[in-house]
Amino acid sequence: DVKVTQSSRYLVKRTGEKVFLECVQDMDHENMFWYRQDPGLGLRLIYFSYDVKMKEKGDIPEGYSVSREKKERFSLILESASTNQTSMYLCASSLPGTYQETQYFGPGTRLLVL
Amino acid sequence: QKEVEQDPGPLSVPEGAIVSLNCTYSNSAFQYFMWYRQYSRKGPELLMYTYSSGNKEDGRFTAQVDKSSKYISLFIRDSQPSDSATYLCAMSGRGNEKLTFGTGTRLTIIP
């Protein structure tokens, strides 16, 4: 059974704090993605990675960075959290090749920045 | 104009009704079309996957793609209260590309 896990379900942080969101997948997938989901805006891609130590900017990378030191782990970093980064953050992974566009999602992290 | 448009709803229908959910898109390069279901406070899960035009059926669910009209649909027959969720359409072009999502339609099936 495919599994994508995220380190926290709920997080509350203060403005200016550095925030780390962790994502781990156990499916040996090359591709990993970070999205944020906001009402009326849907899922927006922040960053993605096609391989270890490789990263590509998505549609809204400003204020975020990522790290992929191991194949199974993809971290999202908010360098200095701001209130407009309050959102639901979703991690996903996929396997290139057959049904490569099929992304498997984690349960999400609800982040509140005060 | 957004690349993918989806009516956000909310949509409420009685149990047993046929539900029709739709998305339109503007990018003619899209070839892969997906529907994801997202229960409250959970991550999206893949429900249906189709390639190019045509229909695909899986139990009570039917996905339809009309590339000439740039229009995709998801039909749910004999709807159940457990079908209450947000439904997201997603699509991509050929190659190792990212997905473009609709904003989602919130569906409630009333017992």
* Cβ <8 Å between A99 and B88: no
pLDDT above 80: residue A97: no
In whole angstroms, give the CA distance from residue B99 to residue B92: 5
User: In sequence order, which residues have a C-beta less than 8 Å from that of residue B17 and are 6 or more positions away?
Assistant: B79, B109
In whole angstroms, give the CA distance from residue B85 to residue B106: 6
* Cβ <8 Å between A48 and B98: yes
- Shortest CA gap B58–chain A (Å): 17
Q: Do the Cβ atoms of B49 and B75 come closer than 8 Å?
A: no
The model's pLDDT over A31-46, given as tens digits with 9 standing for 90+, comes to 899 999 998 888 999 9
- Shortest CA gap A58–chain B (Å): 9
Q: What does the block give as tokens for A30?
A: 């090359």
The DSSP output letter for B70 is T
Considering only alpha carbons, which residue of chain B is nearest residue A10?
Answer: B41
CB-defined contacts A:B, below 8 A: 51
* Cβ <8 Å between B103 and A45: no
The model's pLDDT over B1-39, given as tens digits with 9 standing for 90+, comes to 788 999 878 999 999 999 999 999 999 989 889 999 999
pLDDT at position A1 is 66
